[in-house]
Amino acid sequence: MSSPGSNSGQAYWKATLGLLWTVLAIWAVVSFGAGILFADALDSIHIGGYSLGFWFAQQGSIYVFVVLIFWYAARMNKIDRQHDVHED
């Protein structure tokens, strides 16, 4: 017999894990994809005198990661409110 809140807890955990996998996928694509795997293809594009592959490895990935932190926090707050576990 399951408790009344167990279904809601499972839905919350599923939403949280979905968001986590999305964040990890974006992180992997940006860090390994743009900085390492696709660097040669991106090097044909230049920004401010530097190749785009170098730019992503040095600057672009940092910007993406900072935006990713704020996006994760906003999405997690939304999930918390949807499942009535917010802290307000």
pLDDT in tens, 28-40: 988 888 778 888 8
pLDDT score recorded for residue 58: 76
| Two structure tokens written together for 49 | 């005198």
Domain residues of the chain, as ranges?
6-82
CB 52 within 8 A of CB 21: no
* pTM, two decimal places: 0.75
Percent of the chain with pLDDT over 90: 43
